[in-house]
Amino acid sequence: MRFIPSAAFVFAASLATACGGPLEEETPGAEVVDESVASQEQGIDESCVGSGVVLAQPDGASINAVFPHCSYADMSAASNDSTYDQPSCVHRFVTEINGLAGQYAQPFVEVIPASSNVTESACKGVAITGAAFGYANGVWWGLGSVSTTGTWYPAGPFFPAFCGLRVNIGTGGSGYSKIRVTGFGAALGVFKARVRTGVRIGNGPC
């Protein structure tokens, strides 16, 4: 699968220049060169999958997948606040989910609003940006990207109106040992917001 850079990485341009840089994955050596060549052929934004990406708060997190039995579960991490940044993958909170063992996973990004009382106009003004990358056979693969805004759902007969701030990235995939999910959120397109990035896993009801 090829990853073609899209508007998902363009939105943050008003805050900083787009991600860019050489791939430095795992340990140095010839294998790194091979991965770099492979990822360049796929058009991957290498700065978001290199070893320079911080996988610890406040800029990221690394977690191990725990597969649920007869249900679904989110393997994700949330930024402590809105100060997250990356030296190479600029203005992104990055979560790496390990131990996927090739099983299907659906990446997502979610903005965490400062208040639970989000109006319709404020909801539609929340910017949500994310991208996902899967690691298989020594190579990072692009799984998709998204750049959108919050979705307002009017009240129905049995539920109140609410703001949807969680968005799936691509259609998900299998065959990966680990997945990195990057996320960026901004309230009214200006002020950075907290985000949660991760994957949904599990086989559903038995």
Residue-level pLDDT at 13: 34
Q: Which two tokens stand for residue 7?
A: 């508007």
Rg (CA), the chain: 17
Neighbours of 144 (CB within 10 A): 21
CA distance 97 to 108: 12
Residue-level pLDDT at 45: 58
How buried is residue 124: exposed, middle or buried, by Cβ count under 10 Å (0-12/13-18/19+)?
Answer: middle
Residue-level pLDDT at 25: 41
CA distance 129 to 108: 10
CA distance 9 to 44: 12
Q: What angle do CA 110, 152, 125 make, to 5 degrees?
A: 70
Q: Mind listing the pLDDT tens digit for each residue in 112-126? A: 998 888 999 999 999
Q: Mind listing the pLDDT tens digit for each residue in 3-33? A: 333 333 333 333 333 333 333 343 333 333 2
State which residues of the chain have pLDDT below 50. 1-43
DSSP 18: P
Residues 64 and 99 sit within 8 Å (Cβ to Cβ):
yes
CA distance 154 to 59: 34
Q: Which two tokens stand for residue 4?
A: 């073609």
Q: Which two tokens stand for residue 129?
A: 């940006």
Torsion angle, alpha carbons of 159, 184, 84, 53, to 10: 130
Residues 187 and 115 sit within 8 Å (Cβ to Cβ):
no
Residues 178 and 136 sit within 8 Å (Cβ to Cβ):
no
Is the pTM here over 0.75, yes or no? yes
| Nearest Cα residue to 67 out of 201, 193, 206, 174 | 201
Give the phi and the psi of residue 138 in degrees, each rounded to 5: 75, 15
How buried is residue 148: exposed, middle or buried, by Cβ count under 10 Å (0-12/13-18/19+)?
Answer: middle
The domains of the chain are located at 7-202
Residue-level pLDDT at 193: 94
